[in-house]
């Protein structure tokens, strides 16, 4: 059983729908047990309890946490706790260097996106456990982040990417959509996809292919392999 702490409670996106959705999605596999906290700062205070988790699932883009919470988060990840970074979680914590290193690519000055539209997410890495055997996602409805800022020279591996079409307000470049890295002993699954506004549709999350990607990436971050 993959013990997961889902960190949420603040986001410019509709965390109140996406976070419970992701908890149910992961638990429906039978392989995850997810504790959802809307107060990450408090949940990250208890170091002994944190050591019981295999995975942090971050659906949070809000105020900075206390120094203790940040230190506990980073130290447990360095010690082997996996991390899933969902969409706007990579917008968060400007100036928190360790978190920026962990994400590797962040929404910072110069980053943007075109219109919400359907696009292809191409699986570039056929060898990695997360994307091995996965077909490209055709017509995936989402927001396509562009010009993500690579920070602190953090190493990462791109598993999937999309063409950002100028016709939909994009850059004309290939933009990374899924990246992974190791951070200390921790595996980081950084999923740049996953948009939902308050009051908007849940099309992105209703995509079976997107769900499969989230589950596989989270399992890999927690265990290093993929059975789903």
In the complex, which residues of this chain contact Zn ion (CB under 5 A)?
143, 195
Minimum CB separation of residue 20 from Zn ion in Å reads 18
Q: How many CB atoms within 10 Å of residue 21?
A: 19
Q: Given the complex with Zn ion, which of 143 and 191 has the nearer CB atom?
A: 143
Q: For residue 149, what are the β-bridge partners? A: 106
Residue 118 backbone class (left: φ over 0; alpha: ψ -120 to 50; beta: rest): beta
Nearest distance from C-beta of residue 67 to Zn ion, angstroms = 29
Please give the residue whose beta carbon sits closest to Zn ion in the complex.
195
Burial track 163-178 (b if 16+ CB lie within 10 A, e otherwise): bbeeeeebbeeebbbb
| Burial of residue 127, with CB atoms counted within 10 A of its CB: 0-12 exposed, 13-18 middle, 19 or more buried | exposed
Q: Which of 129/194 has CB closer to Zn ion? A: 194
Of the two residues 140 and 195, which places its CB atom closer to Zn ion in the complex? Answer: 195
Work out how close the CB of 59 gets to Zn ion at its nearest, in angstroms, rounded to a whole number. Answer: 12
From the CB of 195, what's the least distance to Zn ion, in Å? Answer: 3
CB-wise, 74 or 193, nearer to Zn ion?
193
């Amino acid at each position: 059983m993959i013990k997961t702490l889902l960190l949420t409670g603040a986001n410019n996106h509709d965390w109140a729908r996406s976070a419970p959705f992701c908890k149910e999605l992961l638990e429906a596999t039978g392989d995850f047990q997810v504790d959802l906290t809307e107060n990450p700062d408090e949940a990250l205070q208890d170091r002994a309890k944190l050591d019981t988790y295999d995975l942090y699932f971050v659906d949070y883009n809000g105020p900075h946490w206390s120094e203790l919470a940040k230190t506990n988060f980073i130290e447990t990840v360095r010690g082997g706790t996996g991390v899933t970074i969902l969409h706007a979680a990579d917008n968060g914590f400007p100036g928190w260097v360790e978190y920026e290193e962990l994400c590797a690519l962040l929404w910072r000055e110069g980053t943007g996106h075109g219109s919400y539209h359907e696009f292809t997410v191409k699986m570039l890495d056929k060898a990695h456990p997360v994307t091995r055997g996965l077909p490209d996602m055709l017509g995936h409805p989402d927001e396509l982040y562009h010009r993500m800022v690579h920070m602190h020279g953090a190493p990462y591996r791109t598993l999937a990417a999309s063409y950002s079409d100028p016709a939909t307000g994009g850059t004309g470049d290939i933009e990374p959509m899924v990246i992974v890295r190791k951070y200390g002993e921790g595996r980081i699954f950084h999923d740049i996809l996953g948009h939902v506004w308050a009051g908007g549709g849940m099309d992105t999350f209703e995509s079976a292919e997107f769900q499969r990607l989230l589950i596989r990436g989270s399992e890999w971050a927690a265990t290093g392999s993929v059975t789903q």
